[in-house]
């Protein structure tokens, strides 16, 4: 029997300077800077990176049990729409470009990719599943 869980995850975003922000994990303390300007990923690019990164981790963990890849790249793209001044993304697509050694273990790893990509999409990748299924987002003003 399957068990349902609900674990709170938190990220704090603080302003570093004009158009530059730092996101810090409430769990690990890891951080990254983003925003608008040279050398910074925008929030939309972070969304695409989160989608690609989530599935990349799923595929990497499963395939590297067999073989280390010679090439491992996942690209995510999508169209940013503006509808009456309101923005959103649509037609998000991931492209996996993987290469494994021409060995028995490398061929086994390569043979797993299609199945693991599908499982990631259908079941394991929290990020893409949340985007596809939707999640309520609320805002509040702290005292």
Question: Are residues 79 and 69 in contact, defined by beta-carbon separation less than 8 angstroms?
Answer: no
What pLDDT does 2 receive?
Answer: 73
Q: At what angle do helices 43-63 and 104-119 cross, to 10 degrees?
A: 130
pLDDT computed for residue 57 by the predictor: 98
Residue 3's pLDDT is what?
86
Q: Give residue for tokens 């029997």.
A: 1
CB 53, CB 36: distance < 8 Å: no
What's the per-residue H, E or C state across 30-90? CEEEEECCCCCCCHHHHHHHHHHHHHHHHHHHHHCCCCCCCEEEEEEEEEEEEECCEEEEE
- Give 4-33 as a DSSP string: -------EEEEEEETTEEEEEETTT--EEE
Which two three-digit tokens encode residue 106? Answer: 């490398």
* pTM of this structure: 0.91
Q: State the 10-residue block means of pLDDT for the chain, 143 residues long.
A: 88 97 97 96 97 98 97 98 94 98 98 97 96 95 92
The burial class, CB within 10 Å (0-12 / 13-18 / 19+), for 52 is buried
């Amino acid at each position: 029997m399957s068990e349902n869980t609900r674990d709170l995850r938190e990220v704090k975003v603080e302003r570093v300077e004009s158009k530059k922000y730092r996101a810090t994990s409430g769990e690990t303390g890891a951080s990254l800077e983003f925003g608008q300007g040279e050398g910074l990923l925008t929030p939309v690019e972070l969304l695409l990176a989160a989608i690609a990164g989530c599935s990349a981790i799923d595929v990497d963990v499963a395939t590297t049990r067999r073989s280390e890849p010679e090439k491992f790249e996942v690209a995510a793209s999508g169209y940013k729409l503006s509808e009456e001044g309101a923005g959103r993304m649509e037609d998000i697509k991931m492209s996996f470009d993987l290469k494994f050694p021409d060995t028995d273990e490398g061929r086994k790893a390569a043979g797993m990719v299609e199945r693991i990509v599908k499982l990631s999409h259908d079941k394991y990748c929290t990020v893409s599943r949340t985007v596809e299924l939707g999640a309520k987002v609320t805002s509040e003003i702290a005292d």
